[in-house]
Chain A
Amino acid sequence: MSTPVERLPAGGAPAPVTRDRGRFSLRGKPELALIPLVFVVVVAAWEYGIRLFEVPAYILPPPSDIMSSLVEQYQSPRYWTHIRVTGQEVLAGFALGCALAFLIGVAVAQVRLLEKTLYPYVVAFQTVPKIALAPLFVIWFGFGLTSKVVMTALVCFFPMIVNVIEGLRAADQNQVDMLRSLGASRVQIFRKVQVPGALPFIFAGLDIGIVFAVIGAVVGEFVGAQAGLGYLLLQSIYDFDTAGLFGALVTLSLMGLIGHFIVRFLQRRFAFWSDTARLVAA
């Protein structure tokens, strides 16, 4: 597991740009060479700029320090424990938030009265800065895993439920009529038209959700935790270990990236007919 993670920072960071452009920049395009070039130039300028202006390492460490700090971190078993803790929070919160959003979204989209009653609340709650609730969750659920999972689930929940509802609403009325004309039941219409039709939206929700999940877990750990990468971030501040802080930052970004690519992979597999997800997520 440690090998691919170690190899990723150099080649992995610029990758999403190419991927997001997707079909437009296939092979043989100059940007494929320019993207890594930009990375190399920025890193080099950073490295030598710091030496040139003698910037203290606790303010901004050079990339080489961050790299060696990362290598050190990945060799320490305790570090992997922190990665596992945050990973668990992210995955559990993401799964919980998205599953709840799907179930409630389905109910809201199916029952007109429920939609009319609840949708304004969904929209209103979206504007609440949910991250500000993190301290409350520590009071309610303690310093352990639960408060972070709840925090993570909450931040995933809203982008997901909005996409689920919009996706189910967006069902093509002609397709629904086509099924109805055959005598299809509501369940059949739901399963054969509404859910597949909503998949591009659902994947857009998952894509936003997985990135938000990392934020939720880290903020949860900031407020009060005994382990995890967010906890480690705070620790490195107290130790003036800025290189360590950047290392944790890289690891967290990688988590989000890996999740993002998994969602994209699944989306291309199961919602291959539509580019909607890409547009909404962007």
Chain B
Amino acid sequence: MSRQTGPAVTGRSSSPGASATGAPGGAAADWMVVENLSKTYVPLRSQPVTALEDITFAVRQGEFVAIVGPSGCGKTTLLKILAGLVRPTSGRVRLAGSDVVGPRRNIGMVFQQPTLLPWRTIAQNVMVPVEVQKLDKRRYRERASELLALVGLSGFEDKYPHELSGGMQQRAGICRALVHDPDVLLMDEPFGALDAMTREYMNLELLRIWSEAGKTVVFITHSISEAVFLADRVLVMSPRPGRIVEIVDIDLPRPRELGMMDTERGGALVARIRRHFNARGATE
């Protein structure tokens, strides 16, 4: 994996101060640790629903982890727990040495929908984290426009979200997730609503941004091939209650190219993951 140190926007060292996690030796295997995580919802007038059961895994700093599973396997719940938005019923999440008990400033989230604020321009939307976290607007405004340039949205700063296509909106959403220079990027099926062509293009874009920005990424998807194409490791989850049934190392070389999915190795990895779902009668 080659990660060149890019311009100010991408280089961890030269970006404005937000991410002081002080975790030297970033590749430590226990940088993000999820231990025995369970989540049970107790609806008012029906049986309790176990969304997640005994989830345990660790993520290295800078790693790209994808989580695949059928609809309703609790993927989104897991991501919300990682983000501190939802409290687990039991178990815990540790990030850079401390427990996650609530939302954290060093996390960037990308949602299924772009979730842009329609009353704000693209540039103003990207600046939302800066405003919320009361960072220095002047310095980050520059960073915001660099990020927008990175995803090919230069010149769209003063447009409103409804004037952009879905793919462009989602790219602006990615810029927003990166602007405050978080350590972790949590992505919840970010390209699920896009057509196949745009989706492939966005996957390539994402890998490029990731390799330049050096963030740890947890990426949720229900597309097996997308997970294989993007990730260093793929966590395979079972249908409800969500459990991790296998963790697959993706040993495809980087930088990844679309053609790799057609190779024997790529096909074998996809088949290996798909096996789990076929066995359970749930398909991709």
Residues in A whose Cβ lies below 8 Å from that of B103: 180-184
Residues in A whose Cβ lies below 8 Å from that of B85: 177, 180-181
Residues in B whose Cβ lies below 8 Å from that of A192: 117, 128, 131-132
Residues in B whose Cβ lies below 8 Å from that of A183: 102-105, 132-133
Binds A, one of B67-75, B106-114, B239-247: B106-114
**Contact digits for A169-212, partner B, Cβ 8 Å, 1 yes 0 no:** 00010110111111110001000110010010000000000000
**Contact digits for B142-174, partner A, Cβ 8 Å, 1 yes 0 no:** 000000000000000000101000000000000
Residues in B whose Cβ lies below 8 Å from that of A188: 132
Q: Contact between B117 and A196 (Cβ–Cβ < 8 Å)? A: yes
Q: Majority SS of interface residues in chain B?
A: loop
Q: Contact between A182 and B129 (Cβ–Cβ < 8 Å)? A: yes
Asked if B222 lies at the interface with its beta carbon under 8 angstroms from chain A, I say no
Given A192-B131, A273-B160, A181 and B117 contact (CB-CB distance below 8 Å):
no
Given A180-B103, A181-B84, A182-B128, A273 and B109 contact (CB-CB distance below 8 Å):
no
Interface size class of B (residues with CB under 8 A): 20 to 34
Given B80, B111, B113, B180, which contacts A182 in the complex, CB threshold below 8 Å? B180
Q: Contact between A174 and B115 (Cβ–Cβ < 8 Å)? A: yes
Complex-state Cα separation, A183 to B119, whole angstroms: 21
Residues in A whose Cβ lies below 8 Å from that of B128: 178-179, 182, 192
Residue of B nearest to A172 (CB): B115
Q: Contact between A177 and B111 (Cβ–Cβ < 8 Å)? A: yes
Asked if B7 lies at the interface with its beta carbon under 8 angstroms from chain A, I say no
Q: Contact between A179 and B132 (Cβ–Cβ < 8 Å)? A: yes
Q: Contact between B133 and A182 (Cβ–Cβ < 8 Å)? A: yes
Residue of A nearest to B103 (CB): A183
Query: In whole Å, how far is A185's beta carbon from the nearest beta carbon of chain B?
Result: 8
Asked if A274 lies at the interface with its beta carbon under 8 angstroms from chain B, I say yes
Query: In whole Å, how far is B99's beta carbon from the nearest beta carbon of chain A?
Result: 16
Complex-state Cα separation, A36 to B281, whole angstroms: 66
In the complex, the 10 A-B pairs of residues with the closest C-beta atoms, listed nearest first: A273-B118, A181-B109, A184-B132, A174-B115, A182-B132, A183-B103, A181-B83, A196-B119, A183-B105, A182-B129
- 26 contacts across the A-B interface (CB closer than 8 A): A172-B115, A174-B113, A175-B115, A175-B117, A177-B80, A177-B111, A178-B111, A179-B128, A179-B132, A180-B103, A181-B83, A181-B103, A181-B107, A182-B105, A182-B128, A182-B133, A183-B103, A183-B105, A183-B133, A188-B132, A192-B117, A192-B131, A196-B117, A196-B119, A273-B119, A273-B160
Q: List 6 other contacts, CB 8 Å, given A177-B111, A182-B107, A182-B132.
A: A178-B115, A180-B85, A183-B105, A184-B132, A192-B128, A273-B118
